[in-house]
Structure 1
Amino acid sequence: MNIRLLTLGAAICLLTQLAQAQTLQPGLWEISSNNMQLNGQALPNLELLLGNLPAEQRQMAEQAMAKQGVAIAGQGVRICLTAEQAKTDNIPLLGAQAGCTQQITERSAQLWKFRYSCPQGKGEGQTRFVSDREFVTTLNSTFTAGGQPQSGSLESRGRWLAADCGTLQPRQP
């Protein structure tokens, strides 16, 4: 699996994880993905995918993600959500992606439905808020990887870990 596809898969996961910001707690969040599929084929979790990469490629992927404010740890990826990001009505991670737009199509206290579009892909999904410290997102997307059209789906679960993000820096818009 090439590093571009892996990074794109992680980005899709990240796009979904913050489709909330309603009343979430700021701080360190862990997002784990389940039921990931690419073109109808089940994919292993991100940690297993990265574990199958040669050490040099894994290090490159981790460094690229770290520059984007993302760490691979625990059961998935970790991100730092600032108080300002937690208060917005936007998906904070989309703002960091050049050329991406988003639209919340339906919003209630417990459920947000959304669409997004980026230069290399688009999709739609929904986020169900379990509490201000947990959410579940499902996403269906289409994108181009390696010049080929792809389709993917996943379910991710976000859970708040701590108010202090430690050394992990928040994503910058």
Structure 2
Amino acid sequence: MRKTTVAVLLCSLLSAQALAAGQMKPGLWEMTTKSDAMKNMPKIPPEQMEQMRKMGVNVPQFQDGAMVTRVCITRQMAEGDQLPGLEKNEMGCQSKNMVRNGGSYSVDIVCNGAAMKGEGRAKGTFNGNESYTSTYDFKGTMHGQPVNQHSENSGRWLSADCGNVKPVAEMMPKK
């Protein structure tokens, strides 16, 4: 359950970045994802979270059914128009039907990989280059388990300096 939820939520987090070309300011962002699945996610013991942090993992915070994380958006990512990792088909997913209209966007995500199959749709609005809101819906399977996910997402720019937070592209699963 945790692996499925995190993978789908990572796609939703990155869906906003997919259509961010020229709209997201490079630097440190705080991104929040709210979903029913987050409320039911098992709690990670504090000692395990601390161990993950010591290994350099950017562990998100879970608050009131929401996942809050800080991510670094590089200049190249802010100027690009692909989801990091999806252009390489890392999870068997591709972005399709990207549409931009002013500060609004929509994109379909189609997954047909060994681990993840299904379709999703993200849509949202940028409020200038320092914040956005979006929704993401996905229906399919991950590792053979059914997934029917709806999430509401928001992001806000915090700083030009990412500090020790790694770029969001490095969060994607490796083959």
TM superposition score normalised by structure 1: 0.75
Structure 2 counterparts to residues 1-173 of structure 1, below 5 A: 2-23=1-22, 24-34=24-34, 36-38=35-37, 43-44=38-39, 49=41, 52-55=43-46, 58=49, 66=57, 70-73=58-61, 76-95=68-87, 98=90, 99-118=92-111, 119=113, 120-121=116-117, 122-170=119-167, 171-172=169-170
Unaligned 5+ segments in structure 1 are none
Q: Is the 8 A contact 1:3 1:61 kept in 2?
A: no
Kept in 2: contact 1:62–1:72 (CA 8 A): no
CA–CA distance in 2 between the matches of 1:61 and 1:10? 19
Runs of 4+ in 1 over 6 A off after TM superposition: 60-65
Supply the distance in 1 between the matched residues of 2:165 and 2:72 (Cα, whole angstroms).
6
Q: Is the 8 A contact 1:106 1:113 kept in 2?
A: yes
Query: Runs of 5+ in structure 2 lacking a partner?
Result: none
Q: Residue deviations 1:118-157, cap 9 Å, x none?
A: 3204301212111100011111102324522211001100
The Cα shift of 1:84 comes to 0.9
Q: Which TM-score applies when normalising by structure 2?
A: 0.74
Q: 1:73 Cα deviation (Å)? A: 4.9
Q: Which has the higher contact order (CA 8 A, sep 6+)?
A: 1
Please say if residues 100 and 117 of structure 1, whose CA atoms lie closer than 8 Å, have aligned partners that are also in contact: yes
The percentage of aligned residue pairs carrying the same residue is 25
